[in-house]
Chain A
């Protein structure tokens, strides 16, 4: 009988590079920037690490495939290193691999590190394609904003919001993330933006304007995990443990079977249920203290609030407009670090960056952004498009 991951793995150290257009550094140097912080935090030596999981996504414009870029950048002493890739959910995938390795008893101390260097392509946005040679022959000429923008048309059709009503809620989402990013020294975009500016920004993919889209960034983030017992032996007093690690993957149902309406994420809905069951959470709106979700686009964040069962179906617009997800809104703060929107989105690093903010908050080390007495922090990391994606939901919290 499976017993789940709850409280079997403790996070003893985390690190995160500054995200942004890091013209000064390549992937290899960013990896070291995050790792040095993490190692110091974990109170161990590099040689204590017995295995590593490395997440990087777009091999063609990044460091290429295999796990070697991590081993080489950190000069790891010929230990097992595994490279994982699961689209924009790659970072969480590296973390899952490391956690399960510890929980299985195969290793005592394991590193999970994600990284992406996107700003050496010479253009904005993510590279096109990637569905495979057959898919390239039949798939439309899409981009990430175009794929996600379609959520808006379907969501409006289902719940009867006017275009302007939905645009305003989307603007409130981005406004909130800019407020939070502005007070985060490591964030990519650090300027508060007025609602009017967001609403009147140039259109990227209707109805998403420039400020509805997250930053395309360079960066790296990492975590060192072990068992709670070893963590205590190493002298860590306040332990944070993994409560749930869920992932759900599209199987063609959304894209080829006439049932899903195109207005939410089937995977997120399922991954959230799995995660809450694993963590023993009954009422997420009351029990989850804070979240970092995959706000690649404002509309993604909006429907995700419903998939995660924080807002009721069709009600996210109201919660957003009421400030329920703002840092000081008295609800469940979402994107306290600025989110993908403002902290930035180096693909392979993002899942671990989300965990990094939850980790800082749970330790009370989030500075100006600190949330009062958080118990559970949830991360939601999504890769693909609404019709075909992988979605992971992780929950970490105080060990008790």
Chain B
């Protein structure tokens, strides 16, 4: 049986209150009132499509054997690199084995579902056993645009395979039409959009029904389209907004969280044509260990009422960063290659002589009563429990979101590191507070167009008693 083996999700903690947009920009664009309900998810300044894909994939792979994965596909219209295998960075961040294939699916909002079909067909063909697909987007939009209100940032990952399937893949149907409701040219930051009425009447309400009907015909299924709204899930406008390439994955993940054996799930992706896929949930879904999914991420939120913070994080205003920010971020890619496991995968070492975990690992064991040479074996820190040992909130450090909060974190099973903290306020940190490592943007090098990544510590709320 071929189908979905696991799922995981990620929605950024920050949610922009749409009323904050209206309050700031309603004088200029009163039409925004029509979509000013609820919140839209917004990346923190150190998040992008890749960091969200890593978080969603970590959630998807929790408790599973990562060595079985034969391929990694990343789908997004907002890849951080135009020429660098973004799925390869995802693979490195997840510390997956080297002998697998990777692929970026890009430039259409349906590239997520297209990647899913390619993966499922590949597993069906028997060439590969397990494929991880992550879909993620954080699309830019102009200030006071309808897109600013409609869009959201988010990611979701699916593991497909032929064993332990929780939702069997029944079939898929696709059509391609060069219907240009919007587009983004190679050298432009924002989408260009045609008239909404034309998009609705000639595009969305013609192409989608046709493709979905095509799938139903293919699978001898029937569904009264448009008549039974109970069968159509929420579009999540008030919780996240529309998450681009990731949105079909995000909605599917949310449904998988509560699906029962026998449920049939139809997921479709739209963008210059459409894909539709049909799944049937199996008994196995009861055996999948709990995970954050989308619901867990929706519950973990901080509503942002400061519209100028949104503008700043999305480079829609130019703020004075001070002379201290004038540092060169030139990355040595030879160092990045040599220490790729450390920098991208947050992999340290464990001494084979004394058992001490350490990061970064060096040739000589850090334990003063050991000191063994070349005794280190790879040891992953990304999923290890840790707590704050020391901390500060620094107003001097140049930061897009001052104060810069950082400190020493100590892993319960051994190992410690001075790390940037993120997704927190000064009041969230105290000695002993648990943290989770999170893959984040460390900097963006404006001069060279390079995004540098490393891991940061996210303080966790105290466990409920």
Contact = CB atoms under 8 A, between A and B. Distances in A.
Contacts of A258: 410-411, 414-416
Contacts of B420: 140-141
A230 B322 CA distance: 54
A197 interface: no
B366 A252 contact: yes
B403 interface: yes
B253 interface: no
B336 interface: yes
B89 to A, nearest CB: 14
A4 B280 CA distance: 81
B327 interface: yes
Contact of A205 (B362, B394, B414, B419): B394
Given A150-B391, A153-B431, A257-B356, A143 B403 contact: no
A206 B390 CA distance: 12
A206 B403 contact: yes
B416 A146 contact: no
A140 B419 contact: yes
A137 B343 contact: yes
Interface string B364-380: 00111000000000000
Interface string A98-132: 00000000000000000000000111010011000
A118 to B, nearest CB: 13
B324 A253 contact: no
B415 A137 contact: no
B80 interface: no
A234 interface: no
B393 A153 contact: no
Given A153-B407, A262-B408, A137 B391 contact: no
B101 interface: no
Nearest to A132: B335
A141 B416 contact: no
Interface string A225-266: 000000000000000000000000000110111100110000
Contact of A150 (B407, B426, B454): B407
A156 B324 CA distance: 30
B452 interface: yes
A141 B404 contact: yes
Given A138-B360, A157-B432, A143 B397 contact: yes
A149 B418 contact: no
B431 A157 contact: yes
Given A138-B454, A141-B398, A153-B391, 7 more contacts: A121-B323, A134-B335, A137-B332, A205-B394, A256-B416, A257-B358, A387-B408
Interface of B: 322-324, 327, 331-332, 335-336, 339, 342-343, 356, 358-360, 362, 366-368, 389-399, 403-404, 406-408, 410-411, 414-420, 426, 430-432, 442, 452, 454, 456
Interface of A: 121-123, 125, 128-129, 133-134, 137-143, 145-147, 149-154, 156-157, 202-206, 252-253, 255-258, 261-262, 387
18 contacts: A122-B323, A137-B335, A137-B339, A140-B406, A140-B420, A140-B456, A142-B394, A143-B404, A145-B394, A153-B392, A154-B390, A156-B431, A205-B403, A206-B394, A206-B403, A256-B359, A256-B416, A257-B356
